[in-house]
């Protein structure tokens, strides 16, 4: 018997702009950017790096902010223009050929200046929809060195209920120098998160132990097991945490496959 929804994708990405690059699963080594030793031994860095999907700008362009106004130019041009809102030349034709008549021309801009000084809105050219009760955390790419010319805001979008453009707001941090955006360099990472995991009732349920003397004997046992004992063992294996974590992950995947087959 086939279980309804068992193979439903966690996230569906829809290309709206013809030039938009497909999302790419974020990589444990961030495409080779992080140090080799961290890639081999530091499982927390690798896990965080691989959690989600990288999104890319749908065009190459540059911005200059003078502290008040923003000018921009596509890489194919030599002229700078005042930034209001920008759309690609072929976007309207592709969008209007597919959408209902009532929605014609209502396509989001690729990049637009916000009312606040130095803030822009940058769209990936994609829409997204998640499974029921799942949202997308939109944030800067994890562990990828960032431009010193801008900072991306983070946001959580309930994409099972809100169907629309995957974009982010960006704060420009340098004035009077070109700030470049490239189609081959991700500008955001989107990470699926279960909605219950960021509810106030769950996050408010925490405890603070205000003195080291209040640690329980089980806490001291766990500390010794995870931190002290491995360092004293003559046969200590490097990356013990990473190996154990990866093994548990593999075993968990195998168990799920076995349960599904059964």
Residues 139 and 226 in one domain: no
CA distance 22 to 24: 6
Residues 97 and 39 in one domain: yes
Residues 240 and 154 in one domain: no
Calculated CA dihedral for residues 190, 195, 198, 199, nearest 10 degrees: 160
The better pLDDT of the pair 237, 52 is held by 52
Cβ neighbours of residue 178 closer than 8 Å, sequence gap 6 or more: 62, 63, 64
How many domains does the chain fold into? 2
Residues 128 and 251 in one domain: no
Across the strands, what pairs with 111?
Answer: 86, 122
Determine the structural domain holding residue 253 and report its residue range. 207-261
Residues 35 and 160 in one domain: yes
261 pLDDT tier (thresholds 50, 70, 90): very low
Instruction: Confirm whether pTM is higher than 0.75.
Output: yes
Ranges of H-type helices in 141-226:
200-203, 217-223
Residues 51 and 147 in one domain: yes
In this prediction, residues 213-230 reach a mean pLDDT of 91
Q: What pLDDT does 243 receive?
A: 57
48 pLDDT tier (thresholds 50, 70, 90): confident
CATH number for the domain harbouring residue 89: 2.70.40.10
Q: Which of 196, 224, 243 is the last residue of a domain?
A: 196
Residues 53 and 148 in one domain: yes
Residues 215 and 105 in one domain: no
């Amino acid at each position: 018997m086939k279980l309804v929804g068992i193979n439903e994708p966690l996230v569906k990405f829809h290309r709206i702009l013809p030039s938009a690059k497909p999302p790419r699963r974020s990589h444990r080594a961030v495409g080779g950017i992080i140090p080799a030793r961290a890639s081999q031994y530091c499982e927390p860095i690798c896990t965080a790096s691989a959690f989600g999907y990288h999104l890319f700008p749908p065009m190459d362009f540059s911005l200059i902010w003078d502290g008040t106004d923003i000018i921009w130019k596509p890489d194919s041009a030599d002229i700078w223009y005042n930034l209001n809102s920008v759309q690609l030349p072929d976007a309207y034709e592709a969008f209007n050929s597919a959408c209902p008549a009532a929605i014609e021309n209502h396509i989001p801009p690729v990049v637009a200046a916000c009312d606040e000084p130095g803030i822009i809105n940058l769209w990936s050219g994609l829409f997204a929809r998640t499974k029921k009760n799942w949202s997308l955390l939109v944030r800067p790419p994890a562990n990828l060195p960032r431009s010193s010319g801008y900072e991306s805001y983070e946001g959580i979008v309930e994409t099972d209920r809100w169907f629309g453009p995957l974009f982010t707001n960006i704060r420009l941090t340098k004035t009077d120098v070109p700030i470049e955006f490239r189609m081959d360099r991700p500008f955001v990472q989107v990470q699926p998160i279960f909605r219950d995991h960021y509810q106030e009732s769950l996050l408010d349920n925490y405890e603070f132990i205000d003195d080291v003397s209040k640690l329980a004997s089980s806490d001291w046992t766990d500390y010794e097991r995870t931190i002290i004992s491995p360092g004293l063992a003559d046969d200590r294996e490097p990356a013990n945490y990473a190996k154990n974590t990866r093994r548990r992950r593999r075993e968990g995947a195998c168990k799920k496959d076995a349960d599904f087959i059964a």
